[in-house]
Amino acid sequence: MSFIRAVKSEAGLTYEDLALLGKASRATYQRAASGRTLPRLETVQEILTLCGRKNLVADSERATQLWRNARCALRGTQNLPLPRPQFIADEAGMSRALRDLHQWAGSPSAGAIEAMSGPHRVPHTTAHRIIQGYALPRSERVLKSFLLACAAPPNTWSAWSDAFDRVATARTRRQTVGRTYELVHRLHLFKAVRKLTAGTDHPL
């Protein structure tokens, strides 16, 4: 990536210097800057940190956007339609929409989602469960961090929040109905037992 090469050049560091200061090998850093393959986002972010950028936040945002664009081009997902959260009605719909958003964003790895999810990071284990359809965000804060990681346009966030509330309300209503059914069933069973045992010398 030319941006990474420029950052390294401005810092006056060699690949050997990066290897001494960082967590990866010289070959890993050189490969990340070569442009021949798409590096892990975590590696790109580490290079920025090692190079001591003054505007680290702005450079990190730019690098993330460049990485995301490259990832989408590599995956051929740059023309996929953006999910429409206003049509989400239940947990299955929310799960499908989040997975569609993940694909729209270029299908970043769970580790990349953790790295891109902002100050309230989504753990990679949680991200993995969401993108595999095994779980939903536990809170609206987790949802918003996931939206940030997947570069969902800010003007869609309120629709996602509304969808989250609808799903939570539907879940609560379903749980209430289930508990009510169980209580009514037990009451009818109790009455039936009393009717059968009425007038008998039951040992209980």
pLDDT digits (tens, 9 = 90+) for 102-133: 999 888 899 989 988 988 999 999 999 999 99
| Chain segment 20-54, per-residue pLDDT in tens | 999 999 999 999 998 888 898 889 989 999 998 77
Q: Is the pLDDT of residue 178 over 60?
A: no
Domain ranges (residues) in the chain: 2-75, 80-204
What is the model's pTM? 0.68
Among positive and negative, which fits the CA dihedral 52, 53, 59, 63? negative
Please answer whether residues 15 and 28 qualify as being in contact, where contact means their C-beta atoms are separated by less than 8 angstroms: no
Q: Which of 4-13, 67-76, 143-152 has the lowest mean pLDDT?
A: 67-76
Computed over every residue of the chain, the mean pLDDT equals 86
Query: Where do we find the tokens 């442009």?
Result: 35
Which of 55-59, 76-80, 100-104, 178-182 shows the highest mean pLDDT?
100-104
Q: Which of 65-69, 138-142, 150-154 has the lowest mean pLDDT?
A: 65-69
Distance CA 40, CA 1 (A): 12
Distance CA 204, CA 196 (A): 13
Half-sphere exposure of 108 (CA within 13 A, CB side): 30
pLDDT of residue 59: 85
Please answer whether residues 7 and 51 qualify as being in contact, where contact means their C-beta atoms are separated by less than 8 angstroms: yes
pLDDT of residue 101: 95
Query: Where do we find the tokens 């209980």?
Result: 204
Distance CA 141, CA 18 (A): 35
Q: Judge residue 170's burial from the number of C-beta atoms within 10 Å of its C-beta, 0-12 exposed, 13-18 middle, 19 or more buried.
A: middle
